[in-house]
Structure 1
Amino acid sequence: MSGELTTTGGFAIEGMQGAMNLAKAMASAKMVPQHLQGSPGDCLMVIEQAMRWQMSPFAVAQATAVVRGKMCFEGKLVAAAIQTSGILEGRLRYDFEGTADKRKVICSGHIRGEAKERSVEVTLESAKTNNEWWTKTPDQMLTYHAARVWARRHAPEVMLGVYSPDEFDTARNEQEVIDVTPQSQRIEQPRQIDHRALMAERLTKCSDVLTVDTQWRNWDAAIANAEKAGKIIPEDVQSDVRDMIAARRAELEQKAAEAPVDEVVA
C-alpha cells in the first residue's frame, strides 16, 4: 500500500496510514466477527485482501474465520471474488447432472483472451462434508465448492493468499483418481482407511471451536506419522480434511455469534 488513494467497496483508503486507521475502526466495531474484535493487525489483513478483490472490507470480514492462526474465507466470498476479479468474460456457468449422492456440477468459465472455456467437474459424493448446509442446500454448496476448485486450477492468482500455502505448492487433482498400481507395489496409505469419513464422524462430536482445534492438531500428527511410516496420505485427502475441519469450525463460530438474545433493537 502506497500513499495513493485507493477506493475499494465504497471505501476511500489513503495509503498505509489510511488502511491502519480503518483497521483500528474495524477492530473497535462490535458487529465484526469476534476473532477480529480488538485486533487491528488481523483487521489490516482483511482490508488488504478486500483491496485486492475490490470489495468492502466489512463485507469480507463477515465471511472470515481464523483456524490455527490462519485466515480462512467462506466459499460464497471466494465465488464472488472470482466473478469480480475481471479475469472472466461473462460469469461462471454451472451445469448440474444426476441425483442424490451422484449429483454433480460442471463449472465452466471463459477466461478473457482465450478461445475456449475451462471447466472442472465436482461430485456431491466427493465434496460433501458434515456441514448441515450440504443437506439443506446441496446445489448451492456444490456451486461454492466448484467455484473454488475452478479458481485453484485455472486462476490461482485470484486465490493467492486465501488458503494455506500447501494448497498451492503442488497441482491438485480435484476429481477422483483411480489407482491402477498393482496391490503388491503400493506403498501409499491403506485404502481401507477412509480419512474423510473418519474425520466427519469426529467433527459431529465437536461442540465448540476448542474441540475442533484439537482435531487440527490430531490431523497434523496423523499426517506426520504417516510420512514417517512411508505411507503418505494423498495431498487431496489432506486438503479435503482440512476443509472439513475449517468448515465445522466456521459453522460452530457462526452458531455462537448467532446465539439468540433477549431483545433486538431495530
Structure 2
Amino acid sequence: MSQTTTLETLQTQAVAPRQRDKAPVAMSFFNMDGFELMQRIAKAFSQADLVPKQYQDNLPNCMIALDMAQRMGANPLMVMQNLYIVHGTPGWSSKFLIATVNTCGRFSSMRYEWKGEPGSSDYGCRAWAIEKSTGERLDGIWVTWKMVNDEGWAAKNGSKWKTMPDQMFIYRAAAFWQRAYAPDLGMGLQTAEELQDVIDAKRDADGSFTVDLDVLRRQQEVTDKAPGAGQQALEHEPGEVIDTVSGEITKSAQRQPADQQPDTGTDELNLE
C-alpha cells in the first residue's frame, strides 16, 4: 500500500538540505553576505533610542561600531555608548578601557598606587595589575602633578583636573598602563579625556613647531561628548584670538576687517 506524499512535504525535503549546508554568516566589510548582514543589524541599531545621537539614523557610524565590537568581542551597544568623537578624533571613555582590561581574562583587576602629599608636585598615582599567565606585577608609569602641569593638561578652561583631580589621575594612569601592556584592547585609540587635554604640534625642519588651525577651530565647533561635559563649544568668530598653548579663546583688542585677515593654515609655536 503506497503512502500519499503531499506537495508541501516534497518542497520541505528539497529545501532542507540546502539550509543545513549553508554556513553561518559573519559580519564583514569584505564579502557580500557579511556586508548585507552588517547593514541589516546597523539599520536596527540606528533606529533605537538607546544609542547615542551620533549613531541615530547614521548607518555608516553604526557599521563601524559593529565592526569594532566584533573585533574586540564586546557588546555593540556598549561600544557605541563609550566611543566618543573629540576634536574630530574617536576615543574611548577611560572607564570603558578599565572595564575591558578587567574582563579580558589576561590580567587581574587594575589597581592604583599613590605617592606624595596632595597638592605637591610629586603627588600622583600609577596603575598596576598582575599578568595571570606569569604572575608578574606590571607597573604603569607615574602620573604626577609635575607631569600634569608640564604638559598643560590643567590649564584649559573647564578642565576636570581642577575639579576632580584624583579621578583624572586614575583615568590617565589607566590609559598609560593599557597602551603599554595591552594596546590591542583599545585598538590603538586614545581616551576621550586625553584627546581633550592634548593638542598635536608638529616639529618642522627648522626646529619650530606648528599647529593646524583647523584642529583648533574644530575644538570650538564640535559638541564635547565626553562624560561629565555637557557644554557645547562656541564657534570661532573672526574677532576672536585662540591661545594655541592653553586652547583659550579671547577677544582681540581690535577686530580686523575680514578682507585684511591673513588666511593661514598653521600657526607657529615657540616651545623651546
- TM bin, normalised by shorter chain, reads 0.5 to 0.7
Provide the residue aligned with 1:195 in structure 2.
none
- Indicate whether 1:97 and 2:115 are aligned: yes
Q: Deviations over 1:219-258 (max 9, x none)?
A: 56xx34x41422468xxxxxxx99xx6999334995159x
Determine helix, strand or coil for the equivalent of 1:66. Answer: strand
Q: How many residues align?
A: 186
Q: Read off the aligned partner of 2:147 and give its amino acid letter.
A: S
Q: For residue 29 of structure 1, report the CA deviation from its aligned partner.
A: 2.6
Q: Highest Rg: 1 or 2?
A: 2
Q: Of 159, 163, 179, which aligns to 1:152? A: 179
- Indicate whether 1:113 and 2:133 are aligned: yes
Provide the residue aligned with 1:58 in structure 2.
77
- Indicate whether 1:122 and 2:143 are aligned: yes
In the TM superposition, 1:73-88 aligns within 5 A as 73-88=92-107
Hey, what's the Cα distance between the residues in 2 that align with 1:250 and 1:232? Answer: 29
* More helix by percentage: 1
Q: For residue 106 of structure 1, report the CA deviation from its aligned partner.
A: 2.1
Q: Is the 8 A contact 2:224 2:231 kept in 1?
A: no
Determine helix, strand or coil for the equivalent of 1:250. Answer: coil
Hey, what's the Cα distance between the residues in 1 that align with 2:120 and 2:24? Answer: 52
In the TM superposition, 1:211-230 aligns within 5 A as 223-224=201-202, 226-230=203-207
Q: For residue 30 of structure 1, report the CA deviation from its aligned partner.
A: 3.5
Q: Deviations over 1:104-154 (max 9, x none)?
A: 112111123224211012224424444543333322222221111001111
Determine helix, strand or coil for the equivalent of 1:249. Answer: coil
TM-score by length of 2: 0.55
Hey, what's the Cα distance between the residues in 2 that align with 1:28 and 1:75? Answer: 27
Q: Is the 8 A contact 2:106 2:131 kept in 1?
A: yes
- Indicate whether 1:135 and 2:153 are aligned: no
Percent identity of paired positions between Structure 1 and Structure 2 = 22
Provide the residue aligned with 1:23 in structure 2.
42
Mind listing any 5+ residue stretches in structure 1 that lack a counterpart?
7-13, 165-198, 201-215, 234-240, 258-266
TM-score by length of 1: 0.56
